[in-house]
């Protein structure tokens, strides 16, 4: 049977963009702008919001751990993850008990992890094969586009007097439309990857090198550091100004900063070592995380949205590019390990808000984790050295 023709790079990048917009912008982060509406509609407390967020992050952790062991390969992860994201988003629109919501958010986390690992392992590899690794920034801009789009939809719904159920239903419809639009493209990408000899998890090395283990640790600290503002910024803004026409803008600003920075990172990464740029992004993020703890003003939340939103995807993408450079044929396994560490950090962050004592010390702990990750990235690297910094 003849091999299918190579998938054009730009349509491939755009398919990856839509996949991450659905899986991450909706499946993972739609809860953030909808939490204030759920608090109004259902009397949800901030602590309950933390438990729902943690259920999603626990699912993300389980999904990432499972993704490294799925023999079906990245295409299965990508397509099954998208289908479950759409279904779980629609289920959140149903009036239900808190326990049901916990289960649904857990399932959405598993599906989001599947989609991210599948997209990273499949699309980044194919873009490299096609000679366009710089388009990986277009792929990951989908996260920011999804965040910003979901935030704007929630803002419009809140401004029109709609509730959380309307928001979940609208985002489920949007996610379904995006998934249907790229479904055929994902089939072509999977066939192209198989024809090109892409390796599944069974070809991974038995263990990780010291340098790869440090990458996993730094990526986990990134997940721990960014997650508190990424979960609670709109809820914090609502406590200051209850008008949704005002507090509702914090999350679209976060998403817009994420999208713009991800599109720009390709040019920066061409002139600076990846790990150094990753560390610099995290220093900016740490300042944004800490600012609301030091200055209780809406302006502090807006600045935090720009600082965290404008760097968390940059650091995420640089980390995955570094994984591509050092992992060889074990890329799906290393990306899954990094995603699991990231998910563990995300799980720990919101849990800090449930133990009392206010939000100042959790934010300070998150900023400290980002600082430690940056220091480790800039310290002398364990031997053997990874491939050159800007290897596609």
Residue 103, preceding peptide bond in cis (omega within 30° of 0): no
Entry pTM = 0.75
| CB 251, CB 154: distance < 8 Å | yes
Q: What is the pLDDT of residue 111?
A: 94
The two structure tokens encoding residue 126: 């194919």
pLDDT averaged per 10 residues, the chain (length 392)? 56 89 89 85 80 86 79 80 95 90 94 87 77 79 84 85 91 94 71 44 53 89 84 69 65 80 71 85 90 78 84 86 74 78 82 66 86 92 52 40
Residue partners of 25: CB distance under 8 A and separation at least 6: 142, 143, 144, 145, 146, 147, 148, 149, 150, 255
Domain 10-378, CATH number (from 1.20.1250.20, 3.40.50.10490, 3.40.30.10, 3.20.20.70): 1.20.1250.20
Q: What is the pLDDT of residue 4?
A: 46
Q: What residue ranges do the domains of the chain occupy?
A: 10-378
Q: What is the pLDDT of residue 385?
A: 45
The label of the residue with tokens 């602590």 reads: 47
Q: What is the pLDDT of residue 270?
A: 64
CA distance 183 to 14: 12
Q: Give the residue among 31, 61, 24, 28 at the shortest CA–CA distance from 233.
A: 31
| CB 346, CB 227: distance < 8 Å | yes
**Tens digit of pLDDT for each residue in 292-314?**
778 877 778 888 888 888 888 88
Q: What is the pLDDT of residue 247?
A: 59
């Amino acid at each position: 049977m003849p091999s299918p023709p190579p998938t054009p790079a730009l349509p491939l990048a755009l398919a990856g963009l839509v996949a991450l917009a659905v899986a991450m912008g909706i499946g993972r982060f739609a809860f953030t702008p909808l939490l204030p509406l759920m608090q109004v509609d259902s009397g949800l407390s901030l602590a309950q919001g933390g438990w729902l967020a943690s259920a999603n992050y626990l699912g993300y952790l389980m999904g990432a751990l499972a993704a490294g062991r799925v023999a079906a390969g990245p295409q299965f992860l990508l397509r099954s993850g998208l289908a479950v994201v759409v279904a779980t988003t629609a289920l959140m629109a149903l009036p239900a008990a808190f326990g049901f919501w916990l289960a649904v958010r857990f399932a959405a986390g598993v599906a989001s992890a599947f989609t991210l690992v599948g997209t990273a392992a499949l699309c980044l590899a194919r873009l490299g094969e096609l000679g366009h690794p710089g388009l990986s920034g277009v792929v990951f801009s989908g996260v920011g586009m999804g965040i910003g789009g979901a935030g704007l939809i929630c803002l419009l719904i809140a401004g029109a007097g709609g509730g959380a159920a309307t928001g979940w239903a609208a985002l489920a419809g949007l996610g379904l439309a995006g998934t249907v639009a790229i479904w055929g493209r994902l089939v072509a990408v999977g066939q192209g990857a198989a024809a090109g000899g892409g390796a599944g998890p069974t070809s991974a090395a038995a263990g990780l090198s010291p340098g790869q283990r440090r990458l996993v640790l730094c990526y986990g600290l990134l997940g721990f550091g960014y997650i508190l503002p990424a979960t609670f910024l709109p809820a914090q803004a609502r406590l200051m100004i209850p008008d949704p026409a005002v507090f509702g803008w914090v999350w679209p600003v976060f998403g817009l900063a994420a999208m713009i920075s991800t599109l720009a990172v390709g040019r920066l990464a061409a002139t600076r070592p990846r790990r150094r740029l990753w560390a610099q992004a995290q220093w900016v993020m740490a300042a944004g995380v800490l600012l609301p703890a030091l200055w209780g003003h809406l302006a502090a939340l807006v600045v935090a949205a720009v600082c965290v939103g404008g760097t968390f995807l940059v650091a995420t993408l640089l980390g995955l590019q570094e994984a591509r450079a050092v992992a060889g044929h074990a890329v799906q396994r290393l990306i899954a390990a990094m995603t699991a560490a990231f998910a563990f950090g995300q799980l720990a962050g919101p849990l800090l808000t449930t133990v009392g004592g206010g939000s100042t010390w959790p934010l300070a702990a998150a900023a400290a984790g980002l600082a430690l990750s940056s220091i480790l990235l800039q310290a002398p690297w364990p031997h053997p050295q990874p491939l050159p910094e800007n290897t596609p």
